[in-house]
Amino acid sequence: MPKKGAVSPVNGQPVPKGKPFQAGDLRAKEAQRKSAQARHEKADLRRLCKLWMETDVGTDKNGKTITGGEMMVRVAVKEVAKGNPRFWELLRDTAGFKPVDKVMVAEVDPAVIDEVEQMVKECGE
């Protein structure tokens, strides 16, 4: 039977060994260039989105000038009124009311862990 390597506790995938490229490998330069290009494209997109949100994009029915950000909120509110839960989450999270996932870390006696594991095994039988 072949020996298994280390496995990630997060996703169960094999942990890569060493560096992906050896010294002098021309593929490393190409990978670096592509990675930098992708970062620049994401940064450009963020800048454009921020600019659009701050720019006046039209007027409402009362003649008030509205920005792209205000337009986005108005559309999201209309979707929430229609019952779309994804927009409800968007508005809640944007307003700063996103629930926080809390993880409690505690020291537990190994005997207690063994006892709980035994109880779980008994329930499964």
Residues spanned by the domain of 37: 26-98
In a domain, 53, yes or no: yes
In a domain, 107, yes or no: no
In a domain, 125, yes or no: no
Q: What is the 3-state secondary structure (H, E, C) of the chain?
A: CCCCCCECCCCCCECCCCCCCCCCCHHHHHHHHHHHHHHHHHHHHHHHHHHHHHCEEEECCCCCEEEHHHHHHHHHHHHHHCCCHHHHHHHHHHCCCCCCCCCCCCCCCHHHHHHHHHHHHHHHC
Confidence tier at 4 by pLDDT (50, 70, 90): low
pTM of the model: 0.51
In a domain, 94, yes or no: yes
In a domain, 118, yes or no: no
Query: Each residue of 72-95: pLDDT tens digit?
Result: 999 999 999 999 999 999 999 988
Q: How many domains is the chain partitioned into structurally?
A: 1
In a domain, 75, yes or no: yes
pLDDT of 63 above 80: yes
Query: Each residue of 21-35: pLDDT tens digit?
Result: 777 788 888 888 999
In a domain, 48, yes or no: yes
Higher pLDDT, 121 or 87: 87
**pLDDT of res. 120:** 83
